[in-house]
């Protein structure tokens, strides 16, 4: 049963969006617990990973129910909705989509038939071989999904759900056969009537962790979600691993060799600061990025201020390393977010001002170091520099705790197309001039990697280097949950493959 009553939407004031992760996933197997409520709190903790739709599926051992809608987790669910979702197994999902694809049909978990029941599935990531998968489905079932681009059945999540329903046998065995056919990034949490499943692509590009409840198990995109529901972190779901949790306990099987290449941008921006990925505290990594940034890009100034809140840990690190005092020079309106209305340039600039407002008494007459996590198109930084100068800043020096973003992501982050990325066509000095700053400095790729304490060979740095760990096929899309043809590279241009020596 799918529920979509009300079509709730969050009509928020407009502003330029930054890099967005596609989804957050959560699952729980816990007889005797209110699994829908646990899942509600789990996906609430993952709200930053997707703000356009939310959904929960539950099973009582005989029937799967799904409730999903457009909007934030708190908008989609109330006590009545959660009370209706009975059972001992649950899967939850929060979703972010690209412009034009914010539709109820694309909300997750997806639901589909299998040879022995039903599957409900949530996905974080992006598949890069969807054209091949569409052809495989056509060959096996006669279904032609090639004409469904942009509609609900066209998401790569729906393709996986369909593939899981095309083979005879236990879902565990079918999944172990299907997943090696998938290319790209995928962290999956899914269920049938009797079991909870979790799987991660062989490179482990998107995070996924396993936790222990007093009377069950939980899986989540981030450790912070496990913390909030009272689950103790056991370990990460390994790249290329399929986990099954049912009445017989927990078991694991490997469907592919592990070749870890976790997304470095999780450490820069995407993940919550109170999360740990690959054993590394994200907040500590961001603070260290700020310290490295200060060593690589020093400047004489009076104050270090962050672009709240994503720039705060790096700004603290920059202040600690440089000895320049840290201050909160900008106030963020937490209730301003993404809009479903397509804004004009004038309204977009107004939206940025509505998000951030300078504290004039703090910055008037001061030489400022403004620390942010990234520059994508440059619109936010341009408006920010202008605001700070209008508020009396004597100098504005912008420091970025990631390298220049020059390549799009094919593994589940919604960056701009390569043609829209400001760093792709301009030098650092030209970008500085474009945004109106007195100086501009980025952290180096080597410095960013060093701050994570992980070797570069275990990280995906494709958006900075153009070296993609999974080959990108012609027609693959930049953002997750979309089908080919929606948002491609510059026509005829494919990114550089990952050198064999770095695999």
DSSP string, 321-370: HH-PPB---EEE-TT----SS---HHHHHHHHHHHEEE-HHHHTT-EEEE
Could you tell me which residues are beta bridge partners of residue 54? 69, 94
The answer to whether the CB of 417 falls within 8 A of the CB of 99 is no
SS3 at position 270: helix
Residue 372, marked binder: yes
Token look-up 């959660």 returns 82
pTM of the model: 0.87
The answer to whether the CB of 366 falls within 8 A of the CB of 394 is yes
Rounded to whole angstroms, how far apart are CA atoms 200 and 184?
Answer: 11
Could you tell me which residues are beta bridge partners of residue 94? 24, 54
The full length of the chain comes to: 503
Catalytic residues: 23
SS3 at position 209: strand
Q: What is the pLDDT of residue 22?
A: 66
Rounded to whole angstroms, how far apart are CA atoms 303 and 188?
Answer: 44
Strands 117-127 and 209-213: unpaired
**Distances in Å between the alpha carbon of 448 and those of 153, 223, 451?**
39, 22, 5
**Distances in Å between the alpha carbon of 237 and those of 136, 306, 423, 458?**
28, 34, 35, 15
Strands 280-281 and 276-277: antiparallel
Tally Cβ neighbours within 10 Å of residue 248: 8
Rounded to whole angstroms, how far apart are CA atoms 457 and 305?
Answer: 33
Q: What is the pLDDT of residue 484?
A: 30
Token look-up 């999944």 returns 175
The answer to whether the CB of 46 falls within 8 A of the CB of 503 is no
Residue 481, marked binder: no
Q: In sequence order, what DSSP letters do the residues of 413-427 get, joined into one string?
A: EE---GGG-HHHHS-
Contacts of 121 (CB under 8 A, 6+ apart): 91, 108, 109, 110, 112, 157, 160, 161, 164, 188, 189, 190, 191
Residue 263, marked binder: yes
SS3 at position 471: coil
- The torsion angles phi and psi of 299, rounded to 5 degrees, stand at -160, 150
Rounded to whole angstroms, how far apart are CA atoms 448 and 309?
Answer: 19
Could you tell me which residues are beta bridge partners of residue 70? 53
Residue 176: cis peptide before it, omega within 30 degrees of 0: no
Q: What is the pLDDT of residue 413?
A: 85
The answer to whether the CB of 352 falls within 8 A of the CB of 384 is yes
Q: What is the pLDDT of residue 73?
A: 95
pLDDT tens digits in sequence order for the chain, 503 residues long? 333 332 222 222 233 445 555 699 999 999 999 999 999 999 999 999 998 899 999 999 999 999 999 999 999 999 999 999 999 999 999 987 543 355 677 789 999 999 999 999 999 999 999 899 999 999 988 877 665 533 333 478 889 999 999 999 999 999 999 999 999 999 999 999 999 999 999 999 999 999 999 999 999 999 999 999 999 999 999 999 999 999 999 999 999 999 999 999 999 999 999 999 999 999 999 999 999 999 999 999 999 999 988 899 999 999 999 999 999 999 988 776 544 344 455 555 566 777 889 999 999 999 999 999 999 889 889 999 999 999 999 999 999 999 999 999 999 887 767 888 999 889 999 999 999 999 999 999 999 999 999 999 999 999 999 999 998 876 565 543 333 322 333 333 444 444 433 32
**Distances in Å between the alpha carbon of 288 and those of 99, 265, 443, 461, 489?**
34, 14, 11, 18, 33
Give strand ranges (E) for 411-497. Answer: 413-414, 439-442, 459-460
365: left (phi over 0), alpha (psi -120 to 50) or beta: left
Rounded to whole angstroms, how far apart are CA atoms 24 and 94?
Answer: 5
Containing 428, the helix (H) or strand (E) segment is helix 428-435
Structure tokens belonging to residue 492: 């005829």
Residue 373, marked binder: yes
Residue 87: cis peptide before it, omega within 30 degrees of 0: no
Q: What is the pLDDT of residue 225?
A: 98
Q: In sequence order, what DSSP letters do the residues of 68-118 get, joined into one string?
A: EEES-HHHH--HHHHHH--SSEEEEEEE---TT---GGG-SSEEEEETTEE
Residue 463, marked binder: yes
Residue 488, marked binder: no
Rounded to whole angstroms, how far apart are CA atoms 199 and 221?
Answer: 11
Pick the CATH number of 2-6+19-261 from 3.60.20.10, 2.60.40.1220, 3.40.50.970, 3.30.70.20: 3.60.20.10
Topology of domain 279-468 in CATH is: Rossmann fold (3.40.50)
Residue 409, marked binder: yes
**Domain residue limits, the chain:** 2-6+19-261, 279-468
Q: What is the pLDDT of residue 29?
A: 98
The answer to whether the CB of 277 falls within 8 A of the CB of 262 is yes
Q: What is the pLDDT of residue 4?
A: 35
Structure tokens belonging to residue 22: 């596609």
Could you tell me which residues are beta bridge partners of residue 68? 55
Rounded to whole angstroms, how far apart are CA atoms 498 and 503?
Answer: 7
Structure tokens belonging to residue 177: 């056969």
């Amino acid at each position: 049963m799918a529920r979509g009553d009300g079509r709730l939407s969050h009509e928020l004031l407009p502003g330029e969006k930054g890099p967005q992760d596609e989804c957050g996933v959560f699952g729980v197997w816990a007889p005797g617990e209110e699994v829908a409520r646990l899942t509600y709190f789990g996906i609430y903790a993952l709200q930053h990973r997707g703000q356009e739709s939310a959904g929960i599926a539950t099973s009582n051992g005989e029937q799967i129910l799904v409730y999903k809608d457009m909007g934030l987790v708190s908008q989609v669910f109330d006590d009545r909705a959660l009370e209706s979702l009975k059972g001992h197994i649950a899967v939850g999902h929060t979703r972010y989509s690209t412009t034009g694809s914010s539709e109820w049909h694309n909300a997750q978990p997806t639901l589909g038939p299998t040879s022995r029941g039903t599957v409900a599935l949530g996905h974080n990531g992006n598949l890069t071989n969807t054209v091949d998968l569409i052809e495989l489905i056509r060959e096996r079932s006669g279904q032609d999904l090639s004409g469904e681009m942009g509609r609900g059945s066209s998401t790569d999540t729906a393709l996986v759900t369909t593939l899981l329903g095309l083979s005879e046998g236990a879902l565990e065995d079918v999944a172990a056969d299907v997943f090696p056919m998938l290319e790209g990034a995928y962290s999956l949490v899914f269920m049938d009537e009797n079991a909870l499943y979790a799987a991660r692509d062989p490179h482990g590009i998107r995070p996924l962790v396993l936790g222990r409840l007093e009377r069950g198990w939980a899986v989540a995109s981030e450790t912070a979600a496990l913390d909030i529901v009272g689950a103790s972190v056991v370990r990460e779901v390994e790249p290329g691993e399929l986990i099954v949790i049912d009445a017989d306990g927990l078991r694991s099987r490997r469907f592919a060799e592990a070749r870890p290449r976790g997304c470095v941008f999780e450490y820069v921006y995407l993940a919550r600061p109170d999360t740990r990925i690959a054993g590394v505290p994200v907040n500590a990594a961001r603070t260290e990025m700020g310290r490295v940034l200060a060593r690589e890009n020093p400047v004489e100034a009076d104050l270090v201020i962050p672009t709240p809140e994503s720039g705060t840990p790096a700004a603290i690190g920059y202040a600690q390393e440089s000895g320049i005092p840290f201050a909160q020079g900008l106030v963020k309106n937490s209730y301003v977010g993404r809009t479903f209305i397509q804004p004009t340039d004038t309204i977009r600039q107004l939206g940025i001002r509505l998000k951030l407002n300078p504290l004039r008494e703090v910055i008037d007459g001061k030489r400022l170091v403004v620390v942010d996590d990234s520059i994508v198109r440059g619109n936010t930084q341009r408006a920010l520099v202008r605001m700070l100068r209008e508020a009396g800043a004597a100098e504005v020096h912008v420091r970025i705790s990631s390298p220049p973003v020059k390549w799009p992501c094919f593994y589940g982050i919604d960056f701009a197309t390569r043609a829209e990325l400001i760093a792709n066509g301009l030098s650092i000095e030209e970008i500085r001039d474009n945004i109106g700053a007195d100086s501009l400095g980025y952290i180096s790729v080597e410095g960013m990697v060093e701050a994570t304490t992980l070797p570069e060979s275990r990280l995906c740095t494709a958006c900075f280097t153009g070296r993609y760990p999974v080959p990108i096929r012609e027609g693959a899309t930049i953002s997750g949950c979309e089908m080919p043809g929606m948002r491609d590279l510059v026509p005829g241009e494919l990114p550089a493959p990952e050198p064999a020596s770095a695999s």
